[in-house]
Chain A
Amino acid sequence: MISLAITALSTTAVLVPLVISVSLLFRVSGVVNFGTGGFCVFAGAACATWGASNGFVGVVLTLLAGAALGALCYLIAIYPAQRQGVPAIGLTLATLGFGLLLTFLTRTWFGGEPSIVQPWLPGSVTIGDYQTARQRLLVIVLAALLVGLLYLLFDRTLIGRALTAVAHDPELAGMYGIRARRFEVLAWVVSGVCVIIGGMFQATLASVSVDVAPTLLVYALVGAVIGGLGSLFGAVGGALIAGIGMTLTDEYLQAGYHLTALFVILSLVLVVRPQGLFTFRGTAERV
């Protein structure tokens, strides 16, 4: 039971940053980031390479790169197309293109081998009968911290509230004197950092390779849709459902059917409650 819980939580912990990033971008730019997989792969490879001698330095550099890449994606893929009035599906395609570029960069700079990052907290710990890697617990804690941090950012700072306003009603936000474009870039930066964090988590627990990019993309997308693209709360909820779903399928049905399980859950949600399981109409959600 404990092992199930830990596994589910650690899977969720990897998904949470990915889902948050997809959800955030959808709310602010109306775009689904199909380059998410590419970002993850970059994160794993960069962290492994740059952190070869000093893990901490590797992490910091990778985070910075994530921020930069998020902004870059906006500047290259989104902004020029928005100016031309390209609709959402076109912008989504553009993110796909950016993701491909990023994959190319990753392969060129870091090689195409699967990346494994040395756990930040090596070794294992025993809880009752169950033994688990310390890194797994660390990832869970870090993910929770990230959610807490983002909550504070969006809820307690003026910048965060402005972001909420832009996500909710960009035209009205303009009337409040908020320069929406700056906040859109900020959303992309935050989103970039989140995806990178998710990629790093994955790289420390298992490995990240180019082949697995589409899978990570689908995890992120499905988690976001299940939870509801409306809020931070929805994103965490969606990631949790996805994580639990995949773990339970492994345990009680058969291993190796993660994507199938997710697809089934997604289809059910879209039929029963397409706005997402954790979206409540009438209550004004935060980002």
Chain B
Amino acid sequence: MSTPLLEARDLSVSYGRLEPVLRHVSLALRPGEILGLVGMNGAGKTTLMRALSGGLKARSGEVHFRGASVQGRSTAALARAGLVILPEGHRVIRPLTVDENLELSTMSLGRGRVRARLKATRELVYGLFPVLRERRHQLAGLLSGGEQQMLSLARAIVQKPNVLLLDEPSLGLAPMIIDRIYESLGSLRDEGISMLIVEQNSQRVAKTCDRLIVLREGVVAAEGSPDVLAGDRLQAAYFG
């Protein structure tokens, strides 16, 4: 059993003096794994995502990335260390073109390798998403939602992550686009990128992930392989 790349141990998070949004949550993402994190809204999925990427202070418990705590480390620092986030809502740098967005994300990498890396990775990325190659000089703000999501994923790839956290990648996108995205996620796993995908759409992520975790009211209600955790069992985990 290899050591987890990203792990939460007994994590509890609350906002101010409210009741904890997450209660004693533990999970571990191993190298080469795709984890699906599902559950109803309000269950704590996005909070968990934030906590995993160092954005929140935990009330108790810890989050470790490659053995070191994420506490106090900025998003940029974590990105440079290999933990890359794809936030909700297909966010891209709208005033820049597709190409410029990709170039910009090379700032995650060390200095000298910028140009060389970019050329190679760009080919990979345009291979995965040919539509981006067509639109490479178009302002990102003028792309469609689906194209923006592809760009978002593309720039994450350029950052050469060890771990990729995806927050609701299918939200607001047409089914065909969602398929494209998930297909490319599959090939990313082959490239050695481990992923944690938060989704409301459990069916889709269930097809791609190795393990499924269901959150309900801030605790892990169920965990297992998607084949086992399906149908009534899944519904029970969701609704209680």
Please report A residues at the B interface, Cβ cutoff 8 Å.
158, 161-162, 164-165, 168-169, 171-180, 282-287
Contacts and interface: CB of A to CB of B under 8 A. Distances in A.
A177 B96 contact: no
Contacts of B141: 282-284
A180 B79 CA distance: 13
- Nearest 8 Cβ contacts at the A-B interface: A177-B108, A284-B141, A174-B75, A284-B95, A284-B94, A177-B79, A174-B76, A165-B93
A177 B95 contact: no
A284 B142 CA distance: 8
A178 B103 contact: no
Contacts of A180: 76
A114 B93 CA distance: 45
B76 A179 contact: yes
Contact of A177 (B93, B103, B107): B107
A287 B93 CA distance: 12
Contacts of B87: 171-172, 175
Contacts of B96: 161, 164-165, 284
Contact of A174 (B79, B104, B109, B139): B79
Given A174-B74, A179-B76, A284-B141, A169 B91 contact: yes
B100 A179 contact: no
Contacts of A164: 93, 95-96
Contacts of B93: 164-165, 168-169, 172-173, 176
Given A158-B103, A161-B104, A175-B85, 7 more contacts: A165-B96, A165-B104, A177-B76, A179-B76, A283-B141, A284-B141, A286-B95
B80 interface: yes
Contacts of B77: 179
A168 B95 contact: yes
B159 to A, nearest CB: 6
B100 to A, nearest CB: 6
